[in-house]
Copies of this chain bind each other. A is one copy, B any other.
Amino acid sequence: MKVGIIGAGQLGRMLALAGYPLGIEPLFLDRTADTPGGQVGPIITGDFADSAKAIELAERVDIVTFDWENVPSATLAQLPAHKVRPCARALEISQDRVSEKALFRALGIPTPDFAEVDSRADLERAVAAIGLPAVLKTRRLGYDGKGQAVLRKAADIEPGWRKLAGNPLVLEAFVPFEREVSLIGVRGTDGAIAFYPLTENVHTGGILRYSRAPYRSPALQRLAERHVRRVLGNLEYVGVLALEFFVVRGRLLANEMAPRVHNSGHWTIEGAATSQFENHLRAICGFELGATRARGPCAMINFIGNLPQLAGALHEPDLHFHDYGKSPRPGRKLGHCTLLAPSATSRDARLTRLLRKFRREGAEL
């Protein structure tokens, strides 16, 4: 089985590494060969807007999938729909914060208040309706905190507008959340669905810094599963999908979805019976889904900006290191580690100690 992966970042790299043992051969498409994925598998180099390259990819593989959801619609439209998993519609909806939230609302999934902003007048009206603080975001191509301005007070409106004007925007209510959690679900070609345990995520500056799993709340797990099940069903989705939520007074507000494997699921490589990467491949290749239960308490720490010393990290018991093969740059995700612990208490103690250690070594955490 040959799987084409559009985008050869770390997600593609981990998909390829999960695929080899199953006999699945990857083929990447990305702008340059020296990418995390291109280092571990064959690659076609080309721009994502170059439909001819995407068509070539599709012709050389059995199934096309994505490590990046912002593939231009014009390119998606050129691909044979039966080979594309998840479907182009899932990608297109997730590319636009307004369509995404409109879908959530249509499916009865609560979201923070939001309003489209296409002009300075729209912004005034939106602020009046939603109140401050609020977050002004580009509708498209925002990730890891990019394309956002927090409007805390009236005086922030004008600078926020100047920063982002020229793009279609959305104003979202600033949610005083207690925590952020995400649920990763996977749906097979036969409609079978499996969910991983909820993961608790800590972001700073819009970038995921660390996660802990399982986040044990049977009530929130049930609620999140109900929400994600609706999205998966509505989109006739095939593959892994992640939905991020704010937890506010015991309620879940959907923040955004990712139609792909997700950073908050990296702990599943060592921490779950089947990793999110293997389950995504199982789903898109038409195989049965693997068990999603956690092997025990886990934590995942992103390495941002620079990698800690490998030797020091390997000194830690049951710590699993993942280097994405990227060159260091501020704000860039260069790798992660997952730690497994016998209890949630020992996991949390080790997590605290490791965060301190990696910060001392220069990681942005």
Q: List residues of chain A with CB under 8 Å of any chain B CB.
A: 13, 17, 20-23, 25, 39-41, 273, 282, 286-288, 290-291, 295, 307, 310-311, 314-315, 317-318, 320-323, 325, 335, 340
Choice from B23, B287, B318, B321 contacting A22 with Cβ under 8 Å = B321
How far is it, in angstroms, between the C-alpha of A323 and the C-alpha of B18 when the chains are bound?
12
Copies in the complex: 2
Q: Are A22 and B310 within 8 A (Cβ)? A: yes
**Chain B proximity of A46: nearest CB distance (Å):** 22
How far is it, in angstroms, between the C-alpha of A340 and the C-alpha of B307 when the chains are bound?
33
Q: Are A318 and B273 within 8 A (Cβ)? A: yes
Residues of B within 8 A of A273 (CB): 317-318, 340
Q: Known: A17-B17, A40-B40. Is A282-B314 also a contact (CB below 8 A)?
A: yes
Q: List 17 A-B contacts (CB under 8 A).
A: A17-B20, A20-B325, A21-B321, A21-B322, A22-B310, A23-B307, A23-B310, A23-B323, A25-B39, A40-B40, A40-B41, A273-B340, A287-B310, A288-B314, A288-B315, A290-B314, A291-B317
**Chain B proximity of A263: nearest CB distance (Å):** 15
Residues of B within 8 A of A39 (CB): 20, 25
How far is it, in angstroms, between the C-alpha of A21 and the C-alpha of B40 when the chains are bound?
10
**Chain B proximity of A68: nearest CB distance (Å):** 20
Q: Are B21 and A323 within 8 A (Cβ)? A: yes
Interface centre among A295, A310, A311, A322 (most CB of B within 10 A): A310
Q: Are A311 and B323 within 8 A (Cβ)? A: no
How far is it, in angstroms, between the C-alpha of A282 and the C-alpha of B315 when the chains are bound?
11
Residues of B within 8 A of A323 (CB): 20-23
How far is it, in angstroms, between the C-alpha of A322 and the C-alpha of B321 when the chains are bound?
22
How far is it, in angstroms, between the C-alpha of A282 and the C-alpha of B78 when the chains are bound?
46
Give the 9 A-B CB pairs with smallest separation, nearest first: A23-B323, A21-B322, A287-B314, A288-B314, A288-B315, A273-B318, A20-B40, A287-B311, A22-B321
How far is it, in angstroms, between the C-alpha of A169 and the C-alpha of B340 when the chains are bound?
50
**Chain B proximity of A149: nearest CB distance (Å):** 36
**Chain B proximity of A319: nearest CB distance (Å):** 9
Residues of B within 8 A of A318 (CB): 273, 291
Q: Are B17 and A13 within 8 A (Cβ)? A: no
Q: Are A20 and B25 within 8 A (Cβ)? A: no
Nearest neighbor of A18 in chain B, beta-carbon distance = B17
How far is it, in angstroms, between the C-alpha of A83 and the C-alpha of B321 when the chains are bound?
24
How far is it, in angstroms, between the C-alpha of A241 and the C-alpha of B295 when the chains are bound?
29
How far is it, in angstroms, between the C-alpha of A186 and the C-alpha of B331 when the chains are bound?
38
Q: Known: A40-B40, A287-B310, A310-B287. Is A21-B320 also a contact (CB below 8 A)?
A: yes
Q: Known: A20-B40, A323-B22. Is A311-B288 also a contact (CB below 8 A)?
A: yes
How far is it, in angstroms, between the C-alpha of A22 and the C-alpha of B310 when the chains are bound?
8
How far is it, in angstroms, between the C-alpha of A335 and the C-alpha of B295 when the chains are bound?
25
**Chain B proximity of A19: nearest CB distance (Å):** 10
**Chain B proximity of A340: nearest CB distance (Å):** 8
Residues of B within 8 A of A295 (CB): 295
How far is it, in angstroms, between the C-alpha of A25 and the C-alpha of B13 when the chains are bound?
13
